[in-house]
Amino acid sequence: MDKENGRLCACKLKAMKDAYEADGKNRIVRHAMSRTSILDLSYDSSSVRNVNPSFTNVVPTMAVANQKSSGRCWIFAGLNLLREVIAKKLKIKNFELSQNYISLFDKIEKANWILEAFIDLSERPHDDRLLDYILTAPLNDGGQWDMFVSLVKKYGIMPQSAFPETFQSNNTMELDQIVSVWLRRFAFEAHELRAAGEEKAIRPLKEKVMGTIYNAFMNAFGVPPETFDFEYTDEKDVYHVERGLTPNAFFDKHIGSKIDEYQSVINYPEDDRPFGRNFTVEYLGNVVGGKPINHLNLPMERLKELIVAQIKDGEPVWFGSDVSFFRDRNSYAWAASAVDYAALLGADVKFQKPAMLYYRASAMNHAMVITGVNLGKDGKPNRYKIENSWGSDKGLSGYYVMDEGFFDHFVYQAVILRKYLSKEEIAATEKEPVVLPLWDPMGTLA
């Protein structure tokens, strides 16, 4: 570090202050920012003139769900996808699957996954890069599609009425923080035991910690029923009931092998991440022995073709994107130009897509469902209808419109039925995947 030229000396500070005071706009911006959010101040209403909430192809879907103060978007999006499969089959007007049920076992399985990782890495020092990365956030709400598949295949699903939300499932931060400390303490104690030559004591310790964690989440999220009755009213207002179902029986009856027909497809535009190859991420997952992460990397134009094909056939699409900067919870329109940070603050926050990934300026941090697409005169998509999980009081009854610019720059993943993939693409998914390090951008949890 060049201390002489790099330090902010008095003359440099004075020059910046003089330039700041000479620009009259700064006074206006300063006053505005004192009582208004940056997003609202930067909003450009003219950018959404062409973001029309009408579409050439729409999949009829139900009312949106609400993940509230939790980061379970990937679970909500996954269950929203599955409930449409069930609703289409049974002609149900509206219902929800229990997000609490899947969330409960995700927490338990994820804690077990992390404890096993700490056992694997117990010989390493605390500042080893991989171990340190896991220690940073050992337990959180996030996940990826293949992690969702592992959960529903192991535990099944149930209607929300059979196992509704609790305060803790809607507000997960407190318990996540506490359990994360328990996990970190285990990592320390396992390391100490191994260093002392007492490896045999590690696994009994793990089982004790796992028991404590299991109890904590059962207390927080509730004890799910072993059996339940599925009651619903169809589109003709006729009542139906399926009695004495287990979660696995319900899943097998209404979803079954269809869950294995989905493939994660990513757009990772970087030279050392070739298109047409599949990738996995080391130490990323939740269910030990579950479905491995498998991403097929494809160009954005091909990703769009697959999405359009699926929507045209009446199948919604689970997808992952970045919603950090260019989304407005209140406006229905999400456009890449809707928020003009440069005009307000003097510089934009958007640059090249692959560079934003590598330099941690962007990440796949939110999962939703595409339920419609608008095709222009050229037959190509120019906007998308998005089902979110932020409640019905946002956007258009909880739905949003994403324009092409936003989609191209900030969408990283879509889950596509394998029947839409080419023979070459299917063959690529079946190869031994390239293993990416856990800190790779594609290891981000939505």
Question: Catalytic positions, please?
Answer: 73, 366, 388
* Alpha-carbon gap, residue 296 to 426, rounded angstroms: 9
> How far is Cα 192 from Cα 187, in angstroms, rounded to an integer?
9
d(CA 317, CA 260): 15
Judge whether 304 and 298 are in contact, CB under 8 Å: no
Please state, in angstroms and rounded to a whole number, the distance separating the CA atoms of residues 247 and 270. Answer: 42
Distance of CA 259 to the CA centre of its chain: 18
83-to-61, 89, 197, 285 alpha-carbon distances in Å: 9, 10, 51, 24
CB 288 within 8 A of CB 116: yes
Contacts of 175 (CB under 8 A, 6+ apart): 168, 216, 217, 220
Single-letter amino acid code for the residue at 141: D
Distance CA 136, CA 131 (A): 9
Site of tokens 């009582």 = 35
H or E element in which residue 183 lies: helix 173-195
Contacts of 235 (CB under 8 A, 6+ apart): 91, 92, 93
- Ramachandran category for residue 245: left, alpha or beta (phi over 0 → left; psi -120 to 50 → alpha): beta
Task: Report the 10 Å Cβ neighbour count for 1.
Answer: 6
Nearest CA to 118 out of 106, 105, 135 is that of 135
